[in-house]
Chains A and B, each alone.
Chain A
């Protein structure tokens, strides 16, 4: 499936944030 190249920045930011939130949910948060 073709992807518009102008959607690429949105995809990568969404993926980065999504996986970061997933990591936080999994418990990888700094202890205070």
Chain B
């Protein structure tokens, strides 16, 4: 019975992954439309700038709002509403926003898929099998471990800078603004856009793993969220299939079920060959 279950689950079908991809595309399209709306004539002043829709704008403007009652330029109270909704979601389910909704994460996933395909990967790789494509590359583990702390430094820097600035500190460096505001007015924003595309093609989810300050802020929610992925250690055979499709390269997964890096994409649940080994649990 166990062997037949195992065989069934190694088929090339991943319905939940398709649902996740669909949801990612919907949020990407909505973000695209928000950006588009702000370049239409007569629309730019309504609802603030594109930045007003960014949950991280809420983090950047929070100090100014609490101390002066005013928000930083280009942000408004909508940023704080977005922040509240993303924080609330994360307190329930961890960093699911990063894995299912964030348009920057979606674009990185798309770039990874294209790069993988262009560098020798299969169009429909079998679940649980590590791709043999040349790109994206795997950063050596000892370097990767240290690079992942960078995003916490970025977050700390932004929080400190936000206490003394008029514009959001990331305003000139934000990849979301470079990608979706359709207002590439400075060479710096062009550099951010090009760097984002190149790094995402070289390393899977480069921005999420190493630089994203919102991811750094939400990371702690993985440790406290009541809805989480659990593993039945007795059923786990340590085959490490689940690690092959992890977009943020968590390894070993069975020992890191509440990793700060997990984006709750549930690919490990989809890839696991033995039913009921990985499950979602509330409480």
Contact = CB atoms under 8 A, between A and B. Distances in A.
A3 B227 contact: yes
Interface string B86-98: 1111001100110
Given A5-B280, A30-B47, A22 B16 contact: no
Contact of B84 (A4, A9, A23, A31): A23
Interface in B79-116: 80-82, 84-89, 92-93, 96-97, 100-101
Interface string B60-76: 00000000000000001
A28 B37 CA distance: 21
Interface in A1-32: 1-6, 8-9, 11-13, 15-20, 22-24, 26-32
Contact of A16 (B77, B78, B80, B85): B85
A32 B81 contact: no
B78 A28 contact: yes
A31 to B, nearest CB: 7
Contact size range, B = 35 or more
A2 B196 CA distance: 38
A24 B46 CA distance: 17
A20 B48 contact: no
Contacts of B20: 9
B84 A20 contact: yes
A28 B87 CA distance: 15
Contacts of B269: 5
A2 B88 contact: no
B282 interface: yes
Nearest to A26: B84
Contact of B81 (A1, A5, A23): A23
Contact of A9 (B19, B76, B78): B19
Nearest to B94: A12
Contacts of B187: none
B247 to A, nearest CB: 16
A28 B47 CA distance: 12
B59 to A, nearest CB: 14
A18 B19 CA distance: 21
A18 B144 CA distance: 36
Nearest first, the 9 closest Cβ-Cβ pairs linking A and B are A19-B88, A23-B81, A20-B85, A23-B84, A28-B81, A19-B85, A3-B280, A30-B76, A30-B78
Interface of B: 15-16, 19-20, 23, 46-48, 52, 76-78, 80-82, 84-89, 92-93, 96-97, 100-101, 227, 266, 269, 279-283
